[in-house]
Amino acid sequence: MKYPFENLVFEGGGVKGIAYVGALEVLEEEGILDNVKNVAGSSVGAIAAVLVGLGYKNARLKTILTEMDFMDFFDLGSLTEQPNLFQRLFSQYGLAKGDAFCRWLEDRFWEIGFKKDLTFGILDDIITHGHYDHLDRHCRRIYLTGTNLNTGVSEIYSHETTPDMRIIDAVRISMSYPLAFVAKPNGDGDLCVDGGVLCNYPVRVFDYDLTLEPYERYIETSTNKATLGIRLSPGDIYYEPEIKKQPINNLFDYAAAIVNSYLSFQDNVHLEGDDWARTAHVDSLGIETLQFDITTEQKEALIASGRKGVQTYLDWFRNA
């Protein structure tokens, strides 16, 4: 069967993003991945979107995502710097500097032949003129989200909206969990954090004309049926599970509770209508976003769940 999907969207979800390995395996087996022209994502979904957008093959993607340790990105600085952690928290609004993550991502760029200063505009030019066609590499246009704290709105970073922005800087913003990572300025000097705070699942990004001003984009929209989104959802998302109270014992529990409240609201928004019909739900198996100590067995279970979720959706799509 020939599928209509040209846009692929990855939801944010921290360590649960390992499930994208299995999801991408199925998309490749079904011949869908070869037809994807655009990718979008928030938070860990932004990382997945960038790796897919730069043309990484699935076999290498599996190694990268399964070996990626989020704790390695939590760079608090040297022992001499650590007494100043709270000063950094109150002056730069985060503990970890985020430099370790940027270095890790720079290595991923170099590995596949891109410079760390690659911008959205340069990538668009590369794709438009086929500069990498001789390398058998399928690059895709990338769309990432960030949350602008000065304006209180969700931002989209892409060749259409921010052509001169380094892609690495956009990913750094999109994955910056509030208070855990230092807030990063965008091109206008506004402080920005995790794209997932306001738009954890940017499945509608391809419904809008992004060349318009933000306040004009949402006046007239139409559902883009060439979009396929992948969500990392609890298995009981369609039901009314018993509400679980999360303990709040410190500042980070408090910040996590605020972010999770926003994410819970977004979950409900996308459960109905046209978004449901273009979404593959992957069971996150009860694993939490910030559960950094997951085992090898849990990683493999998430990968299997990613395969199952996408395959179940495609089975439904073929018979719809």
**Considering the domain boundaries, does residue 279 fall inside one?**
yes
**Per the structure block, which two tokens stand in for 56?**
């990484």
**Considering the domain boundaries, does residue 245 fall inside one?**
yes
Kindly tell me the burial class for residue 238, based on how many C-beta atoms sit within 10 Å of its own C-beta (0-12, 13-18, 19 or more): exposed
**Considering the domain boundaries, does residue 64 fall inside one?**
yes
**Considering the domain boundaries, does residue 105 fall inside one?**
yes
Total domain count for the chain?
1
**Considering the domain boundaries, does residue 26 fall inside one?**
yes
Instruction: Give tens-digit pLDDT for 3-43.
Output: 999 999 999 999 999 999 999 999 999 999 999 999 999 99
Distance CA 320, CA 316 (A): 6
| Active-site hit among 42, 43, 176, 233 | 43
Would you call 7 helix, strand, or coil by DSSP? strand
**Considering the domain boundaries, does residue 292 fall inside one?**
yes
| Active-site hit among 75, 169, 194, 283 | 194
**Considering the domain boundaries, does residue 234 fall inside one?**
yes
Distance CA 29, CA 27 (A): 6
Q: Which of 48-52, 66-70, 83-87, 242-246 has the lowest mean pLDDT?
A: 242-246
Residue keyed to tokens 């994208």: 20
Residue 194 among the catalytic residues = yes
User: Does the model's pTM come out above 0.75?
Assistant: yes
Residue 261 among the catalytic residues = no
**Considering the domain boundaries, does residue 164 fall inside one?**
yes
Residue-range definition of the domain harbouring residue 300:
7-72+98-319
User: What CATH number is given to the structural domain containing 264?
Assistant: 3.40.1090.10
